[in-house]
Amino acid sequence: MDWNTILQLYAWVIAIYMIVVIFFYTIILFFSTLQIRKEYRLSKTEPFKDYMDENFTRPVSIIVPAYNEEMGVVQSVRSLLTINYPQFEIIVVNDGSKDRTLEIMLEKYDMVRVNKVVRKQLETEETKGIYQSRVLPNLYLIDKNNGGKADALNAGLNFAHYPYFCSLDGDSILERDAFLKVMKPIIDSDEEVIASGGSVRIANGCDIQNGNLINIGLSKSPIVVMQVIEYLRAFLMGRIGLSRHNLLLIVSGAFGVFSKHWVIEAGGYKRNTVGEDMELVVRLHRITKEKKLKKKIIYVPDPVCWTEVPESLGVLRTQRRRWHKGLFESLWAHRKLLLNPKYGTIGFVSIPYFWIIEFLGPVIELSGYIFIIFSLFSGGIYIEFAILLFLLSTLYGSIFSMTSVLLEEWSLRKYPKVTDILKLFLYAATETLWYRPLTVLWRCEGIIQIIRRDHSWGEMKRKGVSK
């Protein structure tokens, strides 16, 4: 086999892979469109007044892990205090912050140390103190030694008083009706739904004052705008389609509600992984399948949580490498699910999808970009393959992202300005040219770190989104 034949075969392998991925995403898009329109109509016609009655709802413990969150934790708590929900408690877990997170919380909310007996169902780092607000009795703070986000969530779970809990990032802002909407499927399902996740949108560029969302807007930073598009695509196109058939493996750590019983039954959050949110969801699927129980983990598009994202390429690069390492850790820890009949569609659809498309996809895409660059210098038949790969890449990247923007406008309409939608649409058209190759490269760097056993996390620097 000569060199030209090898290169042609190589190009066809990439092309066929991308065609398969495009076909799969097209199917997901179809189901997502049907589902989001159905839920959108219901949200407009079904009243939520009954769910404000404590007799109909389930009380929720809101756990907010905070590590160096002095810029946003007060505003996040302030936002939570204004939500429309009849019964809840807020548990901020200060995970050994090195900044003034603890001092600011104690001062702003007049918190005093209390003696509470905590049943330690999950192992965590040592707790140094528990505090309660004198003016807001449902607001608590746990001060503990640093153990990571998963450890902080487990500490909050040990303390939580209610049967359902929400994990919420310390820099997040919730829309006022978000809890009513994300809890509705759990309440209506008679405990069949054991976890429910809401949408996460980007707060950079929005007008947020005192923890309340005043106006929705777009950042002027191209990096942030591209992340807005990326989030729309991931949530509106990806997770809705998977959730429709109970294939969802990720409930975002930024905003998700879980049954406390089932999470403790599963052993809580795994502390030695950077992808603790996905790993927990996979473990919940695994346990319920092994027990032969019909439990569901779903995604609800309308409840929205607004969170801060990186505004620099350096921080974004670190984040994407960390996410990809977390993806691998979750898949590898549960590798026995792959193509295992015992786990049904999770083993035959979800796990293969995340292995082949989400984890290995960046390697295939990067090799495609390398081939395109090589073809520009080689000419001949390689140019034809390069054009084919570029068109497939555009369809795979930009077209689906542009469709996600249209889906947002068609259904949820969170962005009120026509100029914002137009800006998102135009930026989505350029995704294949610069943004997607960057994220593909960073995810491949994450794979290299896995091979080198580099366990460094990097740090997400925040400036705060609330005034």
CB atoms within 10 A of CB 84: 14
Residue 124: pLDDT band by 50, 70, 90 thresholds? very high
Of the candidate ranges 12-26, 49-63, 65-79, 175-189, the one whose mean pLDDT is the lowest: 49-63
Interval 125-147: pLDDT, tens: 999 999 999 999 999 999 999 99
pTM of the model: 0.90
Residue 461: pLDDT band by 50, 70, 90 thresholds? low
Give the pLDDT score at 318. Answer: 94
Give the pLDDT score at 45. Answer: 45
Where are the domains positioned within the chain? Answer: 1-467
Give the pLDDT score at 407. Answer: 78
Q: State both tokens at 212.
A: 């309340």
Q: Starting from the edge strand earliest in sequence, which strands make up the sheet with 88-95, in order?
A: 111-113, 127-133, 139-144, 88-95, 60-66, 164-168, 255-259, 193-202, 296-307, 173-174
CATH topology of domain 1-467: Spore Coat Polysaccharide Biosynthesis Protein SpsA; Chain A (3.90.550)
User: What element of type H or E holds 304?
Assistant: strand 296-307
Three-class SS state of 92: strand
Give the pLDDT score at 390. Answer: 86
DSSP 126: P
Mean pLDDT on 205-218: 85
Interval 288-313: pLDDT, tens: 999 999 999 999 887 788 888 999 99
Interval 218-255: pLDDT, tens: 999 999 999 999 998 888 778 888 898 899 999 988 88
Q: How far apart are CA 96 and CA 105, in angstroms?
A: 14
Residue 399: pLDDT band by 50, 70, 90 thresholds? confident
Residue 322 makes CB contacts below 8 A (sequence gap 6+) with 274, 446, 457, 458
How distant, in Å, are the alpha carbons of 30, 281, 412, 436 from that of 63?
A: 35, 17, 27, 34
For residues 174 and 82, is the Cβ–Cβ distance under 8 A?
no
15 or 157, which is more confident: 157
DSSP 166-203: EEE-TT-EE-TTHHHHHHHHHHHTTT-EEEEEEEEEE-
% of the chain exceeding 90 in pLDDT: 51
Mean pLDDT estimate for the chain: 88
Q: How far apart are CA 300 and CA 467, in angstroms?
A: 29
